Amino acid sequence: MLTYVISKNGQPLMPTSRSGKVRRLLRDKKAKVVRRCPFTIQLLYKAENNVQSIILGVDAGSKHIGISATTDDMVLYEADIELRNDIVDLLSTRREARRTRRNRLRYRAPRFDNRHKPEGWLAPLIRQKVDSHLKVIADVHKLLPISKVIIEIASFDIQKIKNPDIEGSAYQQGEQLGFWNTREYVLFRDGHTCQCCHGKSKDKVLNVHHIESRKTGGDAPNNLITLCETCHTNYHKGLIELPSSIKRGMKFNDATFMGIMRWSVYNKLKELYSDVSLTYGYLTKNTRIENVLPKEHYADARCISGNPTAVSDGTVYYQKKVRCHNRQIHKANLLKGGVRKNNQAPYIVKGYRLFDKVLYNKEECFITGRRSSGNFMLRKLEWSKITDSVSYKKLTLLETAKHYLTERRMAIPPTAEACGFLCQ
């Protein structure tokens, strides 16, 4: 396992695999530990800043980011970062609560003249993912003297996926062309016929029904079907079920995200770092297959860095992005007597916080639930449960809570070549 080294003035140096020397530096107070995972020390004396050329490969994505920092012959750092995907659900829940609360107030006329989106505005989910990419890349620059960044941001043609024969001016003539809104388009698409009873009820009132809830599925045409008033009412009363043939169409959330964020991430990286370039997914796939590498995000990132044959000791850092704060003040459901119970637990309980990394029964895990009595729920990074309740007296604090939970794993057994290389 490599130890990452930072100079006295905070500049990253080349990492070392000489654990004996690291122990002596710490023992003689010539270095201090600044981070536990990945293990990083800072020198307390002036040292020569001899660095090599290190290329950082970034496999961008909507759910995972792959990171690999390599030299010509060695892998120095690899990570797989899982991003947040709960923001849309949280915003939808907040919107529901806000509308319910405001329905109890006096009527206020809508005011839209003072609402505008600034230039470069991005939706909250996309902005969070873009910021996560920039944050992850910046963190690697704090560990290693990166000389070049190569990022793969795939380009998707969503209309080509929907219609392989589309070409020319048809791109400007989308599936809703000529319709004043989505509802009218759905009614026209379904022939103004109920898709449940196919007109047998002879109900002339038609509704547009969400196959998945609006909260999770949105208002896209592939999530909407036409139902008559009778079938729509009976369905929500639980009296009938929709035919099994009615299913939500293809989702293009990830493709849409990649299409929006690619230039935003790339342009911001060019502002921050001197040497940044792009690559494409088909090149990465071809390189991975030629070098018989596993289909993993960090392996793709290694191919993107241009050094697929670099030797690795098998260490991969898995990270999970978690929310910073829970802003919901009260529980959604009232208690008896109309009491609104507080939704937030104390910030610190017996010296521990939410998402602290602790040692329990010789196993590293994270605090994912806390009670004022001092009992905690513990989980691993992949969210497998260790215990529902354990006393704080049985825990040892390893690392205070961070927005990115980090866990070191052995992704693949280190080869003899890797062991020999690291021992040199």
Place of tokens 């898995």: 318
> What tens digit of pLDDT does each residue of 52-77 get?
899 999 999 888 999 999 999 999 99
Residue 397 shares a structural domain with residue 417: no
Residue 129 shares a structural domain with residue 144: yes
- Window from 36-40, 240-244, 413-417 with minimum mean pLDDT: 413-417
pLDDT at 424: 47
pLDDT at 78: 95
Whether 349 maps to a domain, the answer reads: yes
Evaluated on CA atoms 289, 79, 20, 9, the torsion sign reads positive
Please say whether the beta carbons of 204 and 193 come within 8 A.
Answer: no
Do the strands 224-228 and 375-379 form a parallel or antiparallel pair, or are they unpaired? unpaired
Closest CA relative to residue 284, chosen from 300, 272, 296:
300
pLDDT at 333: 78
* pLDDT above 80: residue 164: no
Residue 341 shares a structural domain with residue 412: no
pLDDT at 5: 94
> What average pLDDT does this structure show over 358-382?
91
Output the domain CATH number for residue 59.
Answer: 3.30.420.10
Measured between alpha carbons, how far is 146 from 12 in angstroms, rounded to an integer? 9
* pLDDT above 80: residue 193: yes
Most confident stretch, 208-217, 225-234, 327-336, 411-420: 225-234
Residue 373 shares a structural domain with residue 414: no
pLDDT at 367: 93
Q: Give 175's pLDDT tier (boundaries 50, 70, 90).
A: low
**Cβ contacts of 109-117, under 8 Å, gap ≥ 24:** none
Percent of the chain whose pLDDT exceeds 90: 42
Q: How many CB atoms lie within 10 A of CB 254?
A: 14
Residue 144 shares a structural domain with residue 65: yes
Please say whether the beta carbons of 202 and 240 come within 8 A.
Answer: no
> What tens digit of pLDDT does each residue of 24-33 get?
999 999 999 9
Whether 233 maps to a domain, the answer reads: no
Residue 130 shares a structural domain with residue 79: yes
Q: How many CB atoms lie within 10 A of CB 258?
A: 21
Distance of CA 384 to the CA centre of its chain: 18
Q: Give 418's pLDDT tier (boundaries 50, 70, 90).
A: very low
Q: Give 114's pLDDT tier (boundaries 50, 70, 90).
A: low
Residue 317 shares a structural domain with residue 415: yes
Measured between alpha carbons, how far is 388 from 369 in angstroms, rounded to an integer? 8
Residue 309 shares a structural domain with residue 418: yes
> What average pLDDT does this structure show over 373-391?
92
> What tens digit of pLDDT does each residue of 139-149 get?
999 999 999 99
Whether 94 maps to a domain, the answer reads: no
pLDDT at 279: 87
pLDDT at 170: 61
> What average pLDDT does this structure show over 300-318?
93
Residue 59 shares a structural domain with residue 128: yes
Tokens at 165, concatenated: 């024969």
Percent of the chain whose pLDDT exceeds 70: 88
Number of structural domains the chain divides into: 3
Whether 137 maps to a domain, the answer reads: yes
pLDDT at 414: 47
- Over the chain, what is the mean pLDDT? 84
Whether 238 maps to a domain, the answer reads: no
Tokens at 54, concatenated: 């290190």
Higher-pLDDT residue of 155 and 351 is 351
Measured between alpha carbons, how far is 96 from 107 in angstroms, rounded to an integer? 17
pTM of the full structure: 0.77
Output the domain CATH number for residue 367.
Answer: 2.30.30
Residue 34 shares a structural domain with residue 74: no
Residue 151 shares a structural domain with residue 262: yes
Question: What residue numbers bound the domain in which 142 lies?
Answer: 55-86+122-156+253-322+408-422
pLDDT at 98: 84
Residue 382 shares a structural domain with residue 308: no
